[in-house]
Structure 1
Amino acid sequence: MDTMRDRFAPVVSRLLDEDPRVAVVLAEIGADGFRETGRRHPDRVINVGIREQLLIGTAAGLALTGLRPVVHTFASFLVERPFEQVKLDLGHQDAGAVLVSAAASFDWPAGGFTHMAPGDVALLDTLDGWTVHVPGHPDEAETLLRHAVAAGEDKVYVRLSVQSNRQGRAVDGGHFHTVHEGRSGVVVAVGPMLDAVLAATRGLDVTVLYATTVRPFDVAGLRRATAAAGPDVVLVEPYLAGTSTAAVSEALSDVPHRVLGLGVGRRELRRYGTIEEHVAAHGLDPAALRGRITGYLAAGRTTALTTGG
């Protein structure tokens, strides 16, 4: 199966052909995929070289002229390194752009910690007005890329990963989707974590929600699920653990609830190994997830019994 990033250049190349407002801004990474398209649209395919601050500044300038820039590089170079430009050139100037990352949390372990960005979504959370898409399959990535480019002047982040679920699902760029219904809690699986969550919760009486758009957070969808399955919520995210726990707490602020955030831990792993070894080290493989989820839900039931709930 091809990867999400394999879809990126073909999809955006078609958008360049279809829409004269679309422009692409690169910082060397991914430039090979746009060589032919760049010959057709030399004024709208721009490679700034290894200059990530300029990457964002150029995109903001294009946006201010009325274009819809699509900006691409590794997540650590797209969000973390040029964060001041993301904050000021895009945010402060209210200039819309589509940031499309690669490498995600630890997709290229051989690249070392410089090429890992598990805190990217949490960092964008410090800014106002960003939409964040986290596809879990190449088909979903293609759909969400098109959503993002079509989103007027909005600021959108699309987080691509080589980690993928086995099958794509219908996504609409906004709502959580119910994959399984239960009565003893809600597990929210974000993007490529869905397959692991389904394996971890097999046979458990829980509702599983699938989230590929996490900002804005689907408050109504979560409230419907917890009204039926109870107010114990587990978030399983492919980035920094706990990134969306505040969003859950805000969504359920008027009802007693509990929330557990599972994801990439804060401890830096200095022996890089493989993607699978990173997944296991952070407790995101099905066996570890099952233990953590069942333990959490059991503790909630015990508390309810001892307090007369």
Structure 2
Amino acid sequence: MRDAFVQTTVDLLENDPRTALVLADISADRFVDAARRHPDRVLNVGIREQLMVGVAGGLALTGMRPIVHSYATFAVDRTYEQLKLDLDHQGVGAIVVTVGASYDGAEMGRTHLSPADVALIDTLTGWTVHVPGHPAEVPALLRAAAQHDGPVYLRLSTQVNDLPRPDAGQLAVVHRGSPVAPVVVAVGPMLHPVLQAVTGLDVTVTYTHTPRPFDVGGLRELLPAPDGAVAPAVVLVEPYLAGTSSAVLSEGLSDVPHRLLALGVGRADLHRYGSPADHARWHGLDPAGLRRSVSAFLG
């Protein structure tokens, strides 16, 4: 996904004079040639992530379309105040593109883990959030974000699905169960493990790479009608903090009886290094863990 982001950004810098890129050392080696060609629009501020967002806010005030990029823990967690003040408060937008996801950088320890990034973005105003599940989904999402001035968060990961599904801005049905089947919502790279986990279960599996704004209308259309005392079931599987989208779904389904199981990264600091696969297993987000949780919930 990072390669797709770099190539698309280079193309935007070449062809759209509004595009600017602000870095804080991370991935600067990928943009050396672009910086030579566009020294006024490719800026590396060094290891100063708060300044990176501040500069982006200033560029946006002049009519530029800035892209800022770093690990999620540095570009969101560390810079939250600047996102709140230099972008949100001033009424301007930028495209924040991150790598590292929740635990892609697990071998570097807690400093590089960011499971709460989307929850933090949710406290700001009107952000679009893209969580692609495949590298081939990245270019179109980034190009679309470059065409407007709103705030956009593009969350890249080394965890990928088997196939791209570029038209999943709204909920896309990947596997349809019976008319009374519960609905499983897989966000971004969670689709592949979800499909493995629910093999043989009567569920409808849906996918989105754009959880904000969340396609509540699409979910409502897929929910089976209540059957007596049994409310329709929804299973939400996100690659970041468990329950991040629960409030959005609960508000959108406030007039619809339903049961919700929200799966994602747990809140506990595990104090472990390990690999992304290890963390997925520890948080119950591998196929076996998801199977246990979904089966228990559905009874």
Letter paired with 1:177: A
Select which of 133, 138, 149 maps to 2:130. 133
Cα drift, residue 9 of structure 1: 1.1
Select which of 88, 91, 112 maps to 1:91. 88
Query: In structure 2, what is the equivalent of residue 63 of structure 1?
Result: 60
Query: In structure 2, what is the equivalent of residue 18 of structure 1?
Result: 15
Query: In structure 2, what is the equivalent of residue 163 of structure 1?
Result: 159
Residue 228 to residue 146, structure 1, CA distance change in 2 (3 Å): farther
**Farther off after superposition, 163-172 or 85-94:** 163-172
**C-alpha distance in 1, partners of 2:155/2:103?**
12
- Unaligned runs of at least 5 residues, structure 2: none
TM-score, normalisation: structure 1: 0.93
- Deviations 1:72-124 (CA, angstroms, capped at 9, x unpaired): 00000000101100001000001110000010100011211111100000011
**C-alpha distance in 1, partners of 2:23/2:166?**
29
Kindly indicate whether the alpha-carbon contact (under 8 Å) linking 2:187 and 2:207 is maintained by their aligned counterparts in 1: yes
Cα drift, residue 38 of structure 1: 1.0
Question: Structure 1 segments of 4 or more deviating over 6 A?
Answer: none
Q: How many residues align?
A: 293
**C-alpha distance in 1, partners of 2:100/2:211?**
19
Letter paired with 1:242: G
Letter paired with 1:231: P
Kindly indicate whether the alpha-carbon contact (under 8 Å) linking 1:143 and 1:171 is maintained by their aligned counterparts in 2: no
**C-alpha distance in 1, partners of 2:48/2:166?**
36
**1:1-309 correspondence to structure 2 within 5 Å:** 4-150=1-147, 152-171=148-167, 174-182=169-177, 183-227=180-224, 231-298=232-299
**C-alpha distance in 1, partners of 2:128/2:232?**
26
Cα drift, residue 170 of structure 1: 2.5
- Deviations 1:239-272 (CA, angstroms, capped at 9, x unpaired): 0000011111111110111111100001112121
Q: 2:297 is paired with a residue of what secondary structure?
A: helix
Letter paired with 2:164: G
Cα drift, residue 201 of structure 1: 0.9
Letter paired with 2:176: E
- Deviations 1:44-67 (CA, angstroms, capped at 9, x unpaired): 000000001100000000000000
**C-alpha distance in 2, partners of 1:228/1:147?**
36
How big is the alpha-carbon RMSD for the aligned residues of Structure 1 and Structure 2?
Answer: 1.2
Q: 1:214 is paired with a residue of what secondary structure?
A: coil
Letter paired with 1:178: V
Kindly indicate whether the alpha-carbon contact (under 8 Å) linking 2:182 and 2:224 is maintained by their aligned counterparts in 1: no
Identity fraction in percent:
59
- Unaligned runs of at least 5 residues, structure 1: 299-309
Cα drift, residue 181 of structure 1: 1.1
Kindly indicate whether the alpha-carbon contact (under 8 Å) linking 2:60 and 2:94 is maintained by their aligned counterparts in 1: yes
**C-alpha distance in 1, partners of 2:77/2:272?**
22
Cα drift, residue 228 of structure 1: 6.3
**C-alpha distance in 2, partners of 1:114/1:267?**
15
Letter paired with 2:245: S
Kindly indicate whether the alpha-carbon contact (under 8 Å) linking 1:38 and 1:45 is maintained by their aligned counterparts in 2: yes
